[in-house]
Chains A and B, each alone.
Chain A
Amino acid sequence: MSAFLDALTRVPPLLASHVLLSAAALLLGIAISLPLAIWSARNAAVARVALGFASLVQTVPSLALLALFYPLLLSLSALVGGGIPALGFLPSLIALTLYALLPILRNAVAGLQGLDPAVSQAADAVGMTPAQKLRLVEAPLAAPVVVAGIRTAAVWTIGAATLSTTVGQPSLGDLIFAGLQTQNWALVLAGCVSAAALALIVDALIGGIEQGIRARRRWLWIASAAMLVTGTALATAPLWPRGGGGDRTVVVGAKNFSEQYILARLIGDRLTRAGYTVTYRDGLGSALVFGALSGGDIDVYVDYAGTIWANEMKRSDVPERTKMVADIGAWAKSTHGVGLVGTLGFENAYAFAMKADVARRQRIASLDDLVKAAPGLTLGSDLEFLERPEWAAVKRAYPLRFARTTPYSPTFMYRALQSGKADVISAFSSDGRIAADKLTVLTDPRHAIPGYDAILMVAPARANDARFTAALRPLVGRVPVEAMRTANYQVDRDTDKQTPEAAARWLASKIGLPSS
């Protein structure tokens, strides 16, 4: 219970972002839908196109819709010479706005077309202009149906806004995604309960407006609307500008697994001590995070040399580790202005792992041995591995043909190996569970897997900020892989789980940094 209450303390700032995003998307959706609905009600061709488009949008899964706007905005930004943020608020706003269109549009068109023909003719016959007819007759009579559509759109938007976490926009989804990743159910529960409560309250208040208009009870709809506006203002209070701050606020990014959460807190603690106000953007997709850094959406994060090498630089050769890091630093600086502060001192490489007894029984110790056995085995991977160039490189070096490949979120991948659902997994070398579960890591005699030194990357605006990099420099070369594994395991294990914050504090004291 106290874990749940603890998790609830993280709700207010996320709720503020969530409410702001949902409200903005809903208002924009209304502003687009209503004129379109009026046009549609008067022109069947427009109605067909508008409703067809809105329905089409609705068939796209909301997660995919959000993800779609990242490359779209990225290329748009490139087209106009930069300046359009591809991550965070903008893509979330566009996707959610599109999502809100259908219910509002459909109800408004139905409301306008459902008008009693006698009333419509009477409005013409008494000499109303089209504008007067809309204002005095059509709008008031269609209002309850229109508001019902807005109510549906509001509930959908609040629900779908939890997914905006994946494109780097803070929302209540942060709690759900982080909790799911670290199996912190209190966090998941806190996120779900807050999002559901928000949706229910908004639903009830807009329902009050709808009822007030329908029953012509002016006080009811005015009171409901006033509560809605006040509630929105209060909920977004944590976001109100408060003087000062300015460039003293920095954003630390993290991908979607425990090690990243822990390192983000370790970095955040350094920066806080240096006098910065720190916020966290957790759960960023591995493919998005470098773009988020070079675009300035986040200020600092930890990546892995091989990931940048293969995914961003599109290189398939495997040089020696220090040369690779040096090349990455030069490339990042010259092409994106991104700064590489240094390596943290450990590697988190892809490592093919098996249960020790199974590996022994089948006499598999290296990837070469695995080639023969693969047709009878199932490979469990993380969600992106099978799409990554590293997997292509491994397959080039070792002709692996598995009976089945199944992607899991990292936590569930280890579970799958334990339960026998997977025989081999694409583990991470810094993962504490390799030692704890006594797994056998297969060797890579052909050196197909590049080095994955953890590297500290900073945004272009921070690359030449001496105070900022000075705050981070004590971390360089300071984190041995054993310490990282232990910290990871504290978060990942099933019993006596620690929060990423607690693990970061433990890690700081372990490597001799101030930690209280």
Chain B
Amino acid sequence: MPDQSPALAFERVTKAYGATIAVDAVSLEIAGGSFVALVGTSGSGKSTLLKTINRLVEPSDGRVLLDGTDVTHGPAPALRRRVGYVFQNIGLFPHMTIAENIAIGLRIAGRGDEADVGALLDLVDLPRGIAGRLPDALSGGQRQRVGIARALAPGAKLLLLDEAFGALDPVTRDALGTRIRELHDRLGLTTILVTHDMAEALLLADRVLVMKAGRIVADATPAALVAGEGGDDAQALVQVPRAQADRLRALVA
């Protein structure tokens, strides 16, 4: 694993479930170190596209390149240990302590003694004292922070966030989003955030991709989108937070 941030390329990636096409021949390049948001409504194919990167979904056609190498080259577990993946339902192992959950990626790779659980807890703003507890004893926000620490523990430079903040309350959600952006900059990650919340995408990402019916329909910077660019589908999504902001401003006035 090179120390610099990994770059990604999708080449005509397609995923069909029977007659239904979830991802339709998507070609796309993502530069190392970028923070990309993938926005769309439910069923637009954004989560399926994300999972083709760590092979939780195998494309029906096309390929995904990570730093120029096809991800299907080599065994899937080896690939996944280099890619941090955080999703809405978190999936902490209920029978393992917080420390064991965080260290699991290193443990299964035979590098268990390298795990610095304390430092990882610091990284996601959790008290070190919770290391010995079981996931049941934590709040939803704390559990998602543990999920992020678990994803980063093996030294992953590519972070995939699959609706990672979807189940959290707005305050926790905002705090965690900000924290992720800080970690992205500090650790030199390449981050892909899948979300249906355009406001979150605009505020966190360098580049926003809008997906609809399996295709990328808009690809622009947050500034450009706010300025009205990116086409009708993107603007329909941008319109929601913009209208909310206008109404809030009207309240203050």
- Which residues of chain A have a CB within 8 Å of any CB of chain B? 116-129, 132, 136-137, 140-141, 216
B150 touches A140 (CB 8 A): no
Closest to A116 in B: B91
B56 touches A127 (CB 8 A): no
Q: How far is the CB of A257 from chain B (nearest CB, A)?
A: 58
What 9 A-B pairs come out closest when comparing CB atoms?
Answer: A122-B91, A118-B89, A127-B81, A127-B80, A118-B91, A125-B85, A127-B77, A126-B105, A119-B91
A132 touches B56 (CB 8 A): no
Q: How far is the CB of B201 from chain A (nearest CB, A)?
A: 22
A124 to B76, CA, bound (A): 9
The stretch that binds A, out of B9-17, B92-100, B208-216, is B92-100
- Which residues of chain B have a CB within 8 Å of any CB of chain A? 54, 56, 75-81, 85, 87, 89-95, 104-105, 108-109, 134, 150-151, 154
Q: How far is the CB of A129 from chain B (nearest CB, A)?
A: 5
B94 touches A125 (CB 8 A): no
Q: How far is the CB of A218 from chain B (nearest CB, A)?
A: 12
Q: Which B residues are CB-close (under 8 A) to A123?
A: 91, 93
A126 to B146, CA, bound (A): 13
Q: How far is the CB of B12 from chain A (nearest CB, A)?
A: 25
Q: How far is the CB of B110 from chain A (nearest CB, A)?
A: 11
Q: How far is the CB of B185 from chain A (nearest CB, A)?
A: 24
B80 touches A125 (CB 8 A): yes
A118 touches B78 (CB 8 A): no
Closest to B104 in A: A126
A124 in contact with B95 given A129-B77, A132-B108 (CB within 8 Å): no
A123 to B77, CA, bound (A): 10
A289 to B32, CA, bound (A): 83
B56 contact from A125, A137, A140, Cβ within 8 A: A125
A125 to B79, CA, bound (A): 10
Q: Which B residues are CB-close (under 8 A) to A216?
A: 95, 134
Closest to B55 in A: A124
Contacts A/B (CB < 8 Å), 28 sampled: A116-B91, A116-B94, A119-B91, A119-B92, A119-B94, A121-B56, A121-B87, A121-B91, A122-B91, A122-B93, A125-B87, A125-B91, A126-B81, A126-B85, A126-B108, A127-B76, A127-B80, A127-B81, A127-B105, A127-B108, A129-B75, A129-B77, A129-B108, A132-B77, A136-B104, A137-B93, A141-B94, A216-B134
B95 contact from A117, A122, A128, A141, Cβ within 8 A: A141
B54 touches A125 (CB 8 A): yes
Q: Which A residues are CB-close (under 8 A) to B151?
A: 126
B93 touches A118 (CB 8 A): no
Most buried by A among B79, B91, B94: B91
A119 to B77, CA, bound (A): 16
Q: Which B residues are CB-close (under 8 A) to A119?
A: 91-94
Closest to A132 in B: B108
Interface contacts (Cβ under 8 Å), in number, total: 65
Q: How far is the CB of B166 from chain A (nearest CB, A)?
A: 13
Most buried by A among B54, B75, B76, B77: B77
Q: How far is the CB of B87 from chain A (nearest CB, A)?
A: 7
A123 to B85, CA, bound (A): 11
Q: How far is the CB of B82 from chain A (nearest CB, A)?
A: 8
B90 contact from A122, A124, A132, Cβ within 8 A: A122
Q: How far is the CB of A36 from chain B (nearest CB, A)?
A: 24
A140 in contact with B95 given A121-B87, A125-B80 (CB within 8 Å): yes
A116 to B94, CA, bound (A): 10
Chain A interface mostly:
helix
Q: Which B residues are CB-close (under 8 A) to A129?
A: 75, 77, 108
A216 to B97, CA, bound (A): 12
A136 to B109, CA, bound (A): 13
Closest to A130 in B: B77
B80 touches A124 (CB 8 A): yes
Q: How far is the CB of A132 from chain B (nearest CB, A)?
A: 5
A124 to B105, CA, bound (A): 11
Q: Which B residues are CB-close (under 8 A) to A140?
A: 95
A325 to B16, CA, bound (A): 83
Q: Which B residues are CB-close (under 8 A) to A137?
A: 93
Q: Which B residues are CB-close (under 8 A) to A117?
A: 89
A126 to B76, CA, bound (A): 10
A127 touches B78 (CB 8 A): yes
Q: Which B residues are CB-close (under 8 A) to A120?
A: 91
Q: How far is the CB of A119 from chain B (nearest CB, A)?
A: 5
Closest to A120 in B: B91
A136 to B154, CA, bound (A): 18
A124 to B95, CA, bound (A): 17
B109 touches A127 (CB 8 A): yes
A124 touches B56 (CB 8 A): yes
Q: Which B residues are CB-close (under 8 A) to A127?
A: 76-81, 105, 108-109, 154
A453 to B132, CA, bound (A): 80
Given contacts A126-B104, A136-B93, 14 further A-B contacts (CB under 8 A): A116-B94, A118-B89, A118-B90, A122-B87, A122-B90, A125-B56, A125-B85, A125-B91, A126-B150, A126-B151, A127-B76, A132-B77, A136-B104, A141-B95
Q: Which A residues are CB-close (under 8 A) to B87?
A: 118, 121-122, 125
B92 touches A122 (CB 8 A): yes
A137 to B100, CA, bound (A): 12
A377 to B80, CA, bound (A): 83
A160 to B134, CA, bound (A): 42
A124 to B78, CA, bound (A): 11
Q: Which A residues are CB-close (under 8 A) to B105?
A: 126-127
A120 to B85, CA, bound (A): 13
A137 to B56, CA, bound (A): 18
A7 to B151, CA, bound (A): 67
A134 to B103, CA, bound (A): 18
A121 to B91, CA, bound (A): 7
A128 touches B90 (CB 8 A): no
Q: Which A residues are CB-close (under 8 A) to B92?
A: 119, 122
Q: Which A residues are CB-close (under 8 A) to B90?
A: 118, 122
Q: How far is the CB of B157 from chain A (nearest CB, A)?
A: 15
Q: How far is the CB of B98 from chain A (nearest CB, A)?
A: 14
A159 to B103, CA, bound (A): 47
Q: How far is the CB of A9 from chain B (nearest CB, A)?
A: 48
A358 to B173, CA, bound (A): 97
Q: Which A residues are CB-close (under 8 A) to B77?
A: 127-129, 132
Closest to A216 in B: B95
Q: How far is the CB of B80 from chain A (nearest CB, A)?
A: 4
Closest to B90 in A: A118
A128 to B89, CA, bound (A): 18
Q: Which A residues are CB-close (under 8 A) to B89?
A: 117-118, 121
Q: Which B residues are CB-close (under 8 A) to A126?
A: 80-81, 85, 104-105, 108, 150-151
Closest to A117 in B: B89
Q: Which B residues are CB-close (under 8 A) to A122?
A: 87, 90-93
A126 to B104, CA, bound (A): 8
Q: How far is the CB of B150 from chain A (nearest CB, A)?
A: 7
